[in-house]
Structure 1
Amino acid sequence: MRAGQGVSKLGLMVMLGLWGCINCDIKPSPIGAYAHGDIVIGILGSVHSKVNDLQGRIRPEMFTCTDFDLIPFVQSLAAIHTIEMINDSGFLPGIRLGYAMCDPCVHATQALHCVEHMLSVNGTLPVLSDYSDFRSPVKVFLGERYSELSIPMARLLSIYMIPQISCTSSAPALSDKLRCPSFFRVIPSDVYQTKALAKLMARFSWDWVGVVSLDDDYGKAALENFLLDAEKEHVCAAFQEVVPHYLDNKYTKQRIKEVADHIRSSTAKVVLLILRPEHVEMLFEEMIKTNTSLTWIASDAWSATRNLMKIKNINKVGDIFGFTFVTGKIPGFEDYLQNLRPGRGARNDFIDEYKQMRFNCSPDPLEANDDYLLHAVDVTEAYSQRVAVYAVAHAIKKLLQCNDTACSGDTNLRPWKLVEILHELNFTLDSQTFFFNQFGDFENGYDFIMWKKEGDERVPEVVGKFLIKNGDVEIYDQKILWTNSSVPFSRCSPSCPPGSVKNISNVACCYTCTICNEGTYTDKWDQPTCQKCPNNTWSEKNSTECKQRTVLFLKWNDPYPIALMVGAAIGVLLLLISLILYVWHKRTPVIKKSGFEMSCLMKLGLLISFGSIIAFIGRPNIHLCRAQQIMYGLGFTLCVCCILIKSFCTFLAFLAFDIDKQHKLRKLYKPTLIIILVNAGQGLICAFWLIFASPDIDLPSTQSMFINLMCAEGSIIGFAVMHAYIAVLAFVCFLLAFKSRKVPQDFNETGIIIFSMLIHLFVWLCFIPIYITKNEQRPIVQASAILVSNYGIIFCHFIPKCYQVLWEKTENSLSAIRQRLFAAVKASVPS
C-alpha cells in the first residue's frame, strides 16, 4: 500500500541546519546511478517526491524533481549494496551483476520514461511484432515503490514479459496476472492488509471509524477493499475523505484543512489514514494546532516513517498504530551507510546530491561521511530490497545453470525466461524460506506496531502481528500502553449489554439497545437477536439467562389451601354433629317433619362435596382432576335431589285445595325413584365426560416465570352440562318452594329452601365470569364456590333444625324442673 514516505528537501535542510545549500544546482539525469555488469538490473526509486509545475506542463520537456526523500534513497542503497555483496561473494561465479537506477519522482509518466530509457537500444526503443527474442539491456526491474507507478510500469513491461519485482507496491490490481503477468513483489497484497486492518478494529471493538485515502489507484483500491473487509467484521465508516495524491497540487493543503475539520467534528475517535507521509505530516500539523487527540491507524505507507515520529508536539495527536512489512537486518549495511560512496567504476548522482545537502555544499563532500542515515531512517525497512535482489540472483543462477565454479548459460538472456523461474522459485535467505505464490506475491504477513512515547518523540515497537496463514491479528496486550490507560471508545452506539439486543438503524453500526422480552435472553454483548428460552425455562425482561420455571399449585402449607381445609373440616364436623343430633333426636317432631332419611342423604351428598375440596389441594394429577369435578357433581346433585323431593312434597301440600291436580302430581311423588333417576342422569353426564374428554392436567404456555399447574376441564361442554344440571335442579327447587311459600307453618320449609337455592345459584352465577377471566385462580374460585354452596345448605337446613331440637329439649327440661319444684313447694305447705 506504499503511498510514499518522504523527507522533503527543505525539511532535510531544516533538520540539518543547512540553509546554505538550498540553491545548490542539482540537474536531473535519466539514469542517476549506474554500474557496469554482465547482467544489468534496473532500479526505479523515487528519491525525489515532487515534480515541479505539473499542472502547467504543455511541452514534452524533462521533469524537474524536488524534495529529496531519505527513505527511498536508503532503500535504493540497500539494493545496490546487496548487488555488490553478491558480486563479491561469488554467488554467481564468473558473472557480475550491474545496475542502472532512475528516479521517477513519484510520477507515473516519469516512471514510464525511465523504463523506456532503460529498454532502449542505441537510444531507440525497438518496436517489434514478436518480442520473444528481444534481449533488452536491462533484464529485470526492481521497483517501483508506489503502486500508482508500478501499475503502468507493469502494463508496459508485460509487452516484453520482463520481470518486475517491487518491495513496497501492494495494490491488489498488481496480483492480476492477466494484466500484470510479469509483476512480482516480496510483500503481501493489500487484500491482506485491509483484512488485517478490519480484524484489528474488530479486535478492539472499534466499529465507527473514519477513513482518509488518496485519489490514486492504490488509494482507491485500498479503500474499496477495506470497506468490504470492514463490513464482514461489522465495522462501519463514519466518513470517507479523499485527498489529491500529487503533493504539488495547489488544492492539497486546502483539502487537508477541510479533512481536518471533518475529523474534529466527527463522532469517530479512530481514523485510518491511507496516505503518504507528506500528507500525514500536514494533517497532524492541523491536529496539533487544536490539540486534537485521537487514535490513528497507519497503513504500511507511513507506519514506520521516522521523520513523522519527530514532528514537534507529535505526542499531542494521540495513539498511533500501524502495520509494517516484516523487517530485518542487512549484514554490513550500516557500515556501508556510514562510509557512503559509489563502488569501483560506479556512478551515483543521488549519493552526490545527498552529501551536498548533508555537508552544506562543501568543496569535498564526496569524502565526508557520518552516521546520520542510521538515525534518520529505519534501515531495517530496507530488508525487502535484499530479499528482492537475492530472488533475482537465484533466478539467474538457475537459468544460467551455475555451479560452484562457473555459469554455463548465456548472460545475454531473454528476460521472459526469468518469469517462469521466479514463479517456481523457492529459496532460503537468512534462515528464512521465501517463495512467490501463483499471483507473484509473498504471503508472510505484517508486524503490528505502536508508536510509543520517548521524550518528545515517538519510537515504533512491535506489539502484535498478522500472519496470513492464520488470518487473525495477534495482539501483545501487555506491550500496549494506552494514552488514557484504557482502550479508546470509537463506536456509533454504546455496546448493548447482555439482556438486550441491537436495534439496527439505517447504518449497520448505529443502533439502539432494546431489552429482551420475557421468555427471551442474551448472554453476550452486542447480540443481534434475543434467543428464546428452551422448554420448561423462562426469563424475565432484560434477562441474561433462562431459569427453570417455578411450578405453582395449591400447596398444603399455603395460606389459602389451609383456609380451604379448615373450612372443609369445619363443614364436615358440623355435618357429623348434626348427624349425631338427628340420630339422637330422630323421633322428635322437628326431625320427623324435616325428613330424617332425606336429611341423612343430604349430609352424605355434602360430605362427598366437601371431599372434592381436598382434591383441589396438592400437585394435580389426572385422578385428582377427575375427583374434583365428579365428587362435587355427584355429591351436590344428591343433596339438591333430596331438597327437590322436599320442595315437591311441600308443593303437594300447597295443592291441598286443588284435589284433582294434587292427585295427579302425587303419582309422581316417588322419592326413591326420583333420587335414583336424578342421580343417574348426573352419573351419565359424568360418564360421557370421562370417556370422551376427561379432566386432566393443564400445562399452560404462560408467558411468565411461573407455571400455574392446574386441572383442565377436558370438555368445557361436559363441565358446563354438569353444573347446568345442578343449577336446573336448584332452580326447580326454588320455583316449587316459592310457589308453596303460603303452606301452613307446620309444613313450611319453603323459606330455607328458597334461601339455600338462591345462595347456590348466586354463587355459581358469580363463579362463571370469575372462572373465565381469572384463569390462574380457577381452582381457588371453584373450591370456594363449592365451600359456600355447601355451607349455604348446612346453615339453612341443618343448623336451624339442630338449634330447634336443642332449644325444645332445653324448654322441656326446664318445664319439668319447674313442675317438680312447684309440686315440692305445694307438698311442703300445710293444708
Structure 2
Amino acid sequence: MRSHVCYVLGLFVMLELWGNVTQSPIGAYAPGDIVIGILGSVHSKVEDLKGRIRPEMFTCTDFDLIPFVQSLAAIHTIEVINDSGFLPGIQLGYVMCDPCIHTTKALHCVEHMLALNGSLPVLSDYSNSSFPVKAFLGERYSELSIPLAKLLSIYMIPQISCTSSASALSNKLRCPSFFRVIPSDIYQTQALAKLMTRFSWDWIGVVSLDDDYGRSALENFLLDAEKEHLCVAFQEVVPYLDHTYSRQRIKEVANRIRSSSARVVLLILQPELVEMLFEEMIKTNTNRTWVASDAWSKVRNIMKMKDINKVGDIFGFTFHTGNIPRFEDYLQNLTISPGVRNDFIREYKQIRFNCSSGQQSEHTSPSACSWTDPQEANDDYLLQAVDLTEAYSQRVAVYAIAHAIKKLLKCNDTGCSGETNFPPWKLVENLREMNFTLDNQTHFFNQFGDFENGYDLIMWKSNGSERFSDVVGKFLINKKEVEIYEHTISWSNNKVPISRCSAPCPPGTVKNISDVACCYTCTICSEGTYTNQWDQPTCHNCPNNTWSEKNSTECKPRIIRYLKWNEPYPITLMVADLIGVLLLLISFTIFLVYRSTTIIKKSDFNMSCLMMLGLLISFGSVIAFIGRPDIHLCRAQQIMYGLGFTFCVCCILIKSFRNFIAFMAFDRDRQHKLGKLYKPLVIIILFNGGQALICAFWLIFASPDVDTPSGQSMYINLLCTEGSIIGFGVMHAYIAFLAFICFLLAFKSRKVPHDFNETGIIIFSMLIHLFVWLCFIPIYITKNEQRPIVQASAILVSNYGIIFCHFIPKCYQVLCEKTENSWPAIRERLFAAIQGNVTKGVADPVKN
C-alpha cells in the first residue's frame, strides 16, 4: 500500500517540481520513491549557436540512435529492478534530459532537475539538503561530464558515466562525486601505445578533438608513446562544436594525412568527424591503418558508410561489453507505460514510422505508410542499427546505484527500513565502498571512482560492402600488456602494414638514433652483447655464464673453469692429500703401537694424536677446493682449514710452552709461576675457541660464497669469494700469530737438554708455515685466477711441514734407530732369545 501511495504522490510532486512539461527541457520521466536523473544526448546538434544572444530555449536536431538506445537501456534496467523486487517496497523513478552535446544545455538540464519549486536553492551548507534527484547517469562525452561533475560536487550528488573516459574526471579533488563504470583514458592511451609497439608501428599520425577529452587523451598518449619509443609524425587538432569550420578543417587534415609518410593514424574524434574524414579519404582512395579511440570504435553508422572498405584496416579499443537480458524484446515492443512520459520514444517512432514524405529520413521504415498511428508501430530496426552491447554499461551503472540504495536503506528480502528522502552525499559514501556482482562479474570502484576492467581490442572486418567489429585481443590493466589473438586478424593486404621512418635493423644490430627518435641507422653489437629481434634500441648484455662475438644474435654458454675432478692438477692435489692422510694414519698406528716407548712418551702421545686430528681436518679442506664451487664448499674450504690447523698449532703451542718451562729451570721461582699456567686442556679450548668465534662472526656477517662469473671472454673462472676480507685476514692472522708465538717460545728454549728438546722441529715447522703463507699473500691480493690452486697447495705444504717435522722423524726413530725400546733392539733381543732357547732352554728372553 505504501509503495502505491508513494508512487502516486511522487507523480504529483514531480509535476509540481518540474512545472509545465511542454516548457521544460525534461524529455522523459517516471515517478518513484527515489528518482534517478538520466543525461543522454539523444540529439547531436544545437541550432543557431553562433547567433545566440538571449538565454532562450535550445533547439536540438540530428536524432542519434546510439545515445537513444543507451538511455532506453537505463530505463529498461530501472523497470526490471522495480519488477524484480530488488528494493522491496521501493519504486525507482527517473527523469531524463537531453543536453544535445552542449555544455551549457547540460548545465541547464541539471539545474532544472535539481530545482525545488522552480528554483535551485543557494545555501552555504548542503549536508542536510534533499533534492528530487538522488543520482545522475551520464553524460556520454567527457566535455560535458567535466563541468557537470564540478557542479554536482557542490551538492555531492553522485554522477555515474558509462562512456566519459577523460583522465581529469579521476581527480577526486575536482570531481569528488563522479564515478564511471569504465577505466580512465590513462589506461586507454597505454593500450593504444602498446598496440602500436606490438605491430612495430613507431611512425604515426594523431588527429584529436579540441575539447577536454581530446586534449587529455592526446597528452596522455604522447607520454605513453614516448615510453614505448614511438614517434608522432604529425599532430592535427579539429575544433569542437563548430560544424561549419570542422568540415573545412577536416579537409586540411585529410591532405596532411595523404602527404605524410606515416601509414598508421590514431583518431581521437567524435563519430561525426570521423565520418567526415573517411569521406575525404574515400574520395581520393587513400588507404591507411586507422586506430580508433573508444568514442567511435563501434559506431555502426561509420561501419555502413559507402565504400568504407577502401579506407584500410581499422583497429580500436572498446570497453568490456555484454548482453542485457530481455533488452531486444523491449526494443522490439517499445511502449510508454501509463503515468510515464518519454518524448524521445515518440520522436523516434515519428521518425521511423511517419509516412509524410517531408519528414522522411535515412531511419524511416519502408513500411511506414502501412501504419495509421506511428506510436503504435514497432520493428527490429534498432537491433540492426545499433550495437546493443554498447549499452551494457548502462545496466551496470543503474545496478551500482541500486546496490548503493539497498545498502543505504538497509533493505532485506521483505522491505527497506531506511528513509527514502536521504541527502545524496550518503549515496556517494556507499558507492565508494560498493562491491557487487552482476551477471557473474564482480564490480567495484577504485579510489578514483573508476572501474579497472580493461578493454577489448577490436578489428573492423569486411562484411560485403560494410564492416563489422570483431574482438581480436584484449588489454588487461593489471598486466599492462596487449594480448592479441593472431589467428583472428585478417589484414587487407594479407600482411602487417609497415609504418616506420627508417628501415628495420636486423638481429645482431642496434638502432643508432638520430635527432628524431624513430629515424636511425643500424650499428653492429659489440662482443658480449647481442640482439635477437628486429629494431632493438640497445644491444642486450649477455646473461650470466654466456658470451657472444660481434654482430651476434645469441649468446653461447661460457666455458666455466674450476678444479674439475678429472683434470691433472686436481688429481695431483687429491693424490697429495691422500698421501698426507695415509702418512697420518701410518704415524698414528706407529704412535699407538709404540706409545709406551721413550720416544713416543717424550713426544706426548695424546698431544700428538690431537695434532694428527687437526691435520686430518685440514687435509679435508683441500678436497673442498675440487669440484664446482657452491656456498657450502666455499665455507668448508676456509673453516675446515682454519679450525683444523689452529687445533694442530695449539697442540704445538703447548709443546713449546712445556719446553719453555723446562728452559726456565735456572729460575725456579719463574718456572713455578709459569708451571701454574701449563694447563693443556684450557689452552686448547681457549685458543681454539678464539678461532671458532672469528669463524662464527665471519659466517654470520659476511660468509664466503661463490663469486659471480664475470669477464670479457668466453672463458671464466668460477671461484669462491672470501666474503669479508677482514674475516679472511683475521682467521689467517690468528693462525700466524699462534705460529709466531710457537716459534718465539721454541727459539727461547732451544738450549733445553737434547733428550727433552723438540724446539728445533717446532721452529722449522713454524717457519715453513709462515713462509708459505707469506708467499700466498701477493697472489691473493692480485686475485689471480690460480688463487684456489695456490691456497690448496699452501695448505698441503703447511700440513706436510708438520708431518715431516713432527711425526716422520719419530716414526723413523721408533722403527729404525737402535734404542732400548726401538724395533731394532726388540728384534735383536727376540733373535737372541730364540737362540738361547735352543741352546739353554730359556723361554722368555725379552724383558722390559
TM-score (norm 1): 0.61
After superposition, the Cα gap between the structure-2 partners of 1:358 and 1:538, relative to the gap in structure 1 and judged at 3 Å, is closer
Q: Deviations over 1:11-56 (max 9, x none)?
A: xxxxxxxxxxxxxxx9985000011111110000000001112122
For 1:387, the aligned partner's letter is V
Contact 1:493 1:509 in 2 (8 A): yes
After superposition, the Cα gap between the structure-2 partners of 1:547 and 1:411, relative to the gap in structure 1 and judged at 3 Å, is closer
Identify the residue that residue 56 of structure 2 maps to in structure 1. Answer: 61
Identify the residue that residue 512 of structure 1 maps to in structure 2. Answer: 521
SS of the equivalent of 1:251 reads helix
SS of the equivalent of 1:84 reads helix
Distance in 1 separating the partners of 2:273 and 2:405: 40
For 1:330, the aligned partner's letter is I
The CA deviation at 1:529 is 4.0
- Aligned mate of 1:196, from 186, 191, 195: 191
Contact 1:28 1:64 in 2 (8 A): no
Q: How does 1:337-352 map to 2 (within 5 A)?
A: 337-352=331-346
For 1:287, the aligned partner's letter is M
- Aligned mate of 2:261, from 261, 267, 273: 267
Q: Deviations over 1:593-652 (max 9, x none)?
A: xxxxxxxxxxxxxxxxxxxxxxxxxxxxxxxxxxxxxxxxxxxxxxxxxxxxxxxxxxxx
Q: Deviations over 1:101-158 (max 9, x none)?
A: 0000001111000000000000000001110011001010000011000000000000
Q: Which has the higher contact order (CA 8 A, sep 6+)?
A: 1
Distance in 2 separating the partners of 1:531 and 1:148: 45
1:253 equivalenced with 2:262 (yes/no):
no
- Aligned mate of 1:83, from 58, 78, 82: 78
Q: Deviations over 1:73-94 (max 9, x none)?
A: 0000000011011111111111
For 1:299, the aligned partner's letter is S
1:225 equivalenced with 2:223 (yes/no):
no
- Aligned mate of 2:486, from 477, 484, 488: 477
Distance in 2 separating the partners of 1:222 and 1:109: 23
- Aligned mate of 2:376, from 362, 367, 378: 367
Distance in 2 separating the partners of 1:542 and 1:212: 40
After superposition, the Cα gap between the structure-2 partners of 1:546 and 1:81, relative to the gap in structure 1 and judged at 3 Å, is closer
The CA deviation at 1:539 is 7.5
For 1:266, the aligned partner's letter is S
Identify the residue that residue 135 of structure 2 maps to in structure 1. Answer: 140
After superposition, the Cα gap between the structure-2 partners of 1:27 and 1:315, relative to the gap in structure 1 and judged at 3 Å, is farther
SS of the equivalent of 1:56 reads coil
Contact 1:540 1:704 in 2 (8 A): no
Distance in 2 separating the partners of 1:183 and 1:537: 55
After superposition, the Cα gap between the structure-2 partners of 1:509 and 1:87, relative to the gap in structure 1 and judged at 3 Å, is same
Q: How does 1:654-673 map to 2 (within 5 A)?
A: none
1:278 equivalenced with 2:287 (yes/no):
no
After superposition, the Cα gap between the structure-2 partners of 1:27 and 1:399, relative to the gap in structure 1 and judged at 3 Å, is closer
Identify the residue that residue 424 of structure 2 maps to in structure 1. Answer: 415
For 2:152, the aligned partner's letter is L
Identify the residue that residue 103 of structure 2 maps to in structure 1. Answer: 108
Contact 1:28 1:65 in 2 (8 A): no
1:400 equivalenced with 2:409 (yes/no):
yes
Identify the residue that residue 388 of structure 1 maps to in structure 2. Answer: 397
Identify the residue that residue 503 of structure 1 maps to in structure 2. Answer: 512
Contact 1:174 1:180 in 2 (8 A): yes
Distance in 1 separating the partners of 2:526 and 2:87: 75
- Aligned mate of 1:355, from 313, 330, 349: 349
Contact 1:35 1:346 in 2 (8 A): yes
Identify the residue that residue 593 of structure 1 maps to in structure 2. Answer: none
* Bigger shift: residues 61-70 or 357-366: 357-366
Q: How many residues align?
A: 528
The CA deviation at 1:514 is 2.8
5+ long unaligned stretches in structure 2: 1-20, 357-371, 559-711, 715-848
For 2:108, the aligned partner's letter is H
After superposition, the Cα gap between the structure-2 partners of 1:278 and 1:513, relative to the gap in structure 1 and judged at 3 Å, is same
SS of the equivalent of 1:77 reads helix
Q: How does 1:303-342 map to 2 (within 5 A)?
A: 303-342=297-336
Q: Deviations over 1:450-473 (max 9, x none)?
A: 111010000111111111122111
Distance in 2 separating the partners of 1:535 and 1:201: 32
After superposition, the Cα gap between the structure-2 partners of 1:384 and 1:537, relative to the gap in structure 1 and judged at 3 Å, is closer
Distance in 2 separating the partners of 1:384 and 1:254: 35
The CA deviation at 1:437 is 0.7
Identify the residue that residue 459 of structure 1 maps to in structure 2. Answer: 468
Distance in 2 separating the partners of 1:198 and 1:98: 43
Distance in 2 separating the partners of 1:473 and 1:519: 32
User: Identity of paired residues, percent?
Assistant: 80
Identify the residue that residue 445 of structure 1 maps to in structure 2. Answer: 454
Larger CA Rg, structure 1 vs 2: 1
- Aligned mate of 1:34, from 26, 29, 38: 29
The CA deviation at 1:540 is 7.2
After superposition, the Cα gap between the structure-2 partners of 1:537 and 1:273, relative to the gap in structure 1 and judged at 3 Å, is closer
Give the aligned CA root-mean-square deviation in angstroms.
2.5
For 2:464, the aligned partner's letter is G
1:209 equivalenced with 2:209 (yes/no):
no
For 1:497, the aligned partner's letter is P
Contact 1:46 1:145 in 2 (8 A): yes
Distance in 2 separating the partners of 1:124 and 1:161: 18
The CA deviation at 1:364 is 1.3
Distance in 2 separating the partners of 1:484 and 1:494: 20
The CA deviation at 1:260 is 0.5
SS of the equivalent of 2:462 reads strand
The CA deviation at 1:547 is 8.1
Distance in 1 separating the partners of 2:82 and 2:33: 11
Identify the residue that residue 607 of structure 1 maps to in structure 2. Answer: none
Distance in 1 separating the partners of 2:553 and 2:417: 75
Identify the residue that residue 97 of structure 1 maps to in structure 2. Answer: 92
After superposition, the Cα gap between the structure-2 partners of 1:530 and 1:146, relative to the gap in structure 1 and judged at 3 Å, is closer
- Aligned mate of 2:533, from 505, 524, 532: 524
Q: How does 1:158-173 map to 2 (within 5 A)?
A: 158-173=153-168
1:488 equivalenced with 2:497 (yes/no):
yes
Identify the residue that residue 235 of structure 1 maps to in structure 2. Answer: 230
Q: How does 1:176-195 map to 2 (within 5 A)?
A: 176-195=171-190
Q: Deviations over 1:242-272 (max 9, x none)?
A: 00121x4321001000000000111111111
SS of the equivalent of 2:233 reads strand
Distance in 2 separating the partners of 1:535 and 1:135: 68
Q: Deviations over 1:528-585 (max 9, x none)?
A: 3456899999987644457899xxxxxxxxxxxxxxxxxxxxxxxxxxxxxxxxxxxx
Distance in 2 separating the partners of 1:49 and 1:277: 11
1:157 equivalenced with 2:152 (yes/no):
yes
After superposition, the Cα gap between the structure-2 partners of 1:537 and 1:122, relative to the gap in structure 1 and judged at 3 Å, is closer
Distance in 1 separating the partners of 2:393 and 2:239: 28
Distance in 1 separating the partners of 2:413 and 2:538: 68
Q: How does 1:524-673 map to 2 (within 5 A)?
A: 524-530=533-539, 542-544=551-553
SS of the equivalent of 1:250 reads helix
For 1:528, the aligned partner's letter is P
Distance in 1 separating the partners of 2:554 and 2:481: 31
Distance in 1 separating the partners of 2:536 and 2:251: 39
After superposition, the Cα gap between the structure-2 partners of 1:289 and 1:400, relative to the gap in structure 1 and judged at 3 Å, is same
The CA deviation at 1:233 is 1.1
5+ long unaligned stretches in structure 1: 1-25, 550-702, 706-831
Q: Deviations over 1:154-187 (max 9, x none)?
A: 0000000000000110101111100100000011
Distance in 2 separating the partners of 1:27 and 1:418: 31
Distance in 2 separating the partners of 1:284 and 1:430: 38
After superposition, the Cα gap between the structure-2 partners of 1:537 and 1:205, relative to the gap in structure 1 and judged at 3 Å, is closer
SS of the equivalent of 1:170 reads coil
Distance in 2 separating the partners of 1:415 and 1:548: 67
